[in-house]
Amino acid sequence: MADESIIIKCKECGTPNRVSTGRLSDKPVCGRCKAELPPVLSSPVNVTDRTFEDEVMNSPVLVLVDFWAPWCGPCRMMGPILDGLAKELSGRLKICKLNTEENRVIPSRFKINAIPAMLLFKGGVLLEQIVGAHPREALLNKIQKFI
């Protein structure tokens, strides 16, 4: 498989920089101003109805959105698994968490009727829906089809 690249916007000058995912650990710098580029996230990001478009639909990398609630035992069991996958697949997968108790619009838009539910997006397109708690390996197998 060919090495993929992502676009990272420089926080100093705003220039978009194409960076190979294989070189993300090399602390890439901006091609224009030579400032160090911001790190790619290695932990899940909390999203809301308001931030969903920017964080998920406009993301340059594959995104897994975890629809969860604080009272949901299986949702809480998935937390450490998703934390580990966020670190392991940093630069290739962005994990977002959306609390369904505090955000009603996005779960309704995607007809989320049971949690935990996870949706995979790439380029704003829904690729896969995963319902229920899954072991790490099973979840990783589903994700790797799209990386």
Question: Which one is catalytic: 10, 13, 30, 75?
Answer: 75
What are 26's two structure tokens?
């090399």
72 is catalytic: yes
Is residue 91 within 8 Å of 20, Cβ to Cβ? no
Calpha distance 42→61 (Å, rounded): 13
10 is catalytic: no
Question: Which one is catalytic: 10, 13, 33, 72?
Answer: 72
Calpha distance 142→62 (Å, rounded): 12
Calpha distance 69→56 (Å, rounded): 19
Residues with a catalytic annotation lie at 72, 75
